[in-house]
Amino acid sequence: MLFSGLGLLATVALGPFGIVQLGSNPWVNGFIAAIFLVFGLSLLGAFEITIPSSVLTRLDRVSQRGGTAGTLVMGLTFSLASFACVGPFVGTLLAASLQGGGARPLMGMAAFATGLALPFFLLAIFPSYLKKLPRSGGWLARVKVVMGFVILAAMLKYLSSIDQVLQWNFLTRERFLAAWIVLFTMAGLYLLGYVRLEGISKDEPLGLWRLLIGMAFLGFAISLIPGMFGAKLGELDAYAPLPSGAGGFSAGAPGETSLAWMKNQFPDALDKARRENKLVLVNFTGYACTNCHWMKANMFTRPEIRSVMQNLVLVELYTDGTDENSRLNQELEEKTFHTVAIPYYAIFDKDGKVVASFEGATRDSQKFLTFLSAPAPKPVQTAGLSG
């Protein structure tokens, strides 16, 4: 009830914010990044987040009175007493789920609370299993340290969102992946005993599982290196910045030219469509939109999709920036399609009439190809241009 209530409070307080506004807001991303930094450093052993003992003692006295209220206070006491352990995970989960909006904070905290309470519930029913539980020891400290590296890597994603929305272009794809490579390499070296932090003593033997997990971290870090030179990284491309330059990812036959995207130039795209007698594919997208990044890296580069898109006038309309263009693009999407969700794809004819629309990301190339292969223009509705 306590953890789920915290998630419900966040849902009620922040629910009215749209996904786009909340997920791309520099202040929100900065706040989340700060939380991740604090908890990441805490897990690495820089400091410990604790609740004053006087507060815990007072709550413990109230919990001993029994009854429903006493039980709830006992739960609150346990939650606060274990905050040094669960705090970094609770804060990280809650902060990350806020970006999704809707009921995600409530669902995330309910899932966390269920996972935290389930062992106690099951052991209360089957107390004999207490003897079979793994003993606490250095492995718990190692889990904590490794999670510290992982949370710091996640922090970079939110810093990247700030950088992209404000268009600073400082945390480029190369720098982002370089930082990830360093963090995951450090996690691997730590598990192998080459980096001395809490959890591994100097004379402790290297166990098989620690060896395998350390090698996995190092292998993952090495696999990121091609991404620094423009190679695609699959699902990870949703979180890493896209390659710089208009071309982005290259795909298809050797020497094939990149797709030519216009940026925030819808009227110009319609003019070009009239001159060339083509349809216009509008990509309502975002600088910090993970699904938008995935589609551009993994869907637009597929040969069958690319061949169709080359016969269309392509224009990207960014809706999550801090400039006037983003505001106008968002107003256009909301007025035409009654949504501000991104990514959102629409095909217009040369007169600005909607031929077809497609909401969200998809892993089904045939489904997206069907949308791109729209029939002859139909007078569905106008884009409502004002100039």
Q: What is the mean pLDDT of residues 318-330?
A: 90
pLDDT for res 18: 46
Whether the pLDDT of residue 173 is over 50: the answer is: yes
Whether the pLDDT of residue 93 is over 90: the answer is: no
Q: Is residue 34 part of a domain?
A: yes
Those residues whose C-beta lies under 8 Å from the C-beta of residue 57, and which sit 6 or more positions away, are none
From 23-37, 240-254, 355-369, the region with the lowest mean pLDDT? 240-254
Q: Is residue 331 part of a domain?
A: yes
Whether the pLDDT of residue 240 is over 80: the answer is: yes
Highest average pLDDT, of 39-53, 111-125, 272-286, comes from 272-286
Q: Is residue 13 part of a domain?
A: yes
Tally of structural domains, the chain:
2
pLDDT in tens, 12-51: 665 443 445 566 778 878 888 888 899 899 999 888 777 6
pLDDT for res 241: 93
Q: What is the mean pLDDT of residues 312-330?
A: 92
pLDDT in tens, 189-230: 999 999 988 888 878 888 899 999 999 999 999 999 999 998
Whether the pLDDT of residue 371 is over 90: the answer is: yes
Burial label for 216, CB within 10 Å (0-12, 13-18, 19+), is middle
Q: What is the mean pLDDT of residues 123-140?
A: 75
pLDDT for res 138: 73
pLDDT for res 321: 86
Whether the pLDDT of residue 380 is over 50: the answer is: no
pLDDT for res 310: 92
Looking at per-residue confidence, does 340 or 382 come out higher? 340
Decide which of 130, 157, 184 is a domain's last residue: 157
Instruction: Domain of residue 142: give its range.
Output: 2-157
Whether the pLDDT of residue 354 is over 70: the answer is: yes
Mean pLDDT of the chain: 81
Whether the pLDDT of residue 282 is over 50: the answer is: yes
Q: Are residues 150 and 18 in the same domain?
A: yes
Q: Is residue 180 part of a domain?
A: no
Percent of the chain with pLDDT over 70: 76
Whether the pLDDT of residue 247 is over 50: the answer is: no
pLDDT for res 23: 63
Decide which of 157, 191, 223 is a domain's last residue: 157
Reported as a pLDDT band with limits 50, 70 and 90, residue 108 is confident
Q: Is residue 202 part of a domain?
A: no
Q: Is residue 9 part of a domain?
A: yes
Whether the pLDDT of residue 6 is over 70: the answer is: no
Looking at per-residue confidence, does 79 or 100 come out higher? 79
Q: Is residue 272 part of a domain?
A: yes
The pTM of this model reads 0.76
pLDDT for res 124: 80
Decide which of 107, 125, 157 is a domain's last residue: 157
Q: Are residues 290 and 143 in the same domain?
A: no
Q: What is the CATH number of the domain that holds 354?
A: 3.40.30.10
Q: Is residue 234 part of a domain?
A: no
pLDDT for res 251: 46
pLDDT in tens, 47-88: 877 767 776 677 677 666 667 777 777 777 666 655 555 655
3-state secondary structure string across the chain? CHHHHHHHHHHHHHCCCCHHHHHHCHHHHHHHHHHHHHHHHHHCCCCCCCCCHHHHHHHHHHHCCCHHHHHHHHHHHHHHHCHHHHHHHHHHHHHHHHCCCCCHHHHHHHHHHHHHHHHHHHHHHCHHHHHHCCCCCHHHHHHHHHHHHHHHHHHHHHHHHHHHHCCCCCCCHHHHHHHHHHHHHHHHHHHCCCCCCCCCCCCCCCCHHHHHHHHHHHHHHHHCHHHHHCCCCHHHHHCCCCCCCCCCCCCCCCCCCCCCEEECCHHHHHHHHHHHCCCEEEEEECCCCHHHHHHHHHHCCCHHHHHHHCCCEEEEEECCCCCHHHHHHHHHHHHHHCCCCCCEEEEECCCCEEEEEEECCCCCHHHHHHHHCCCCCCCCCECCCCC
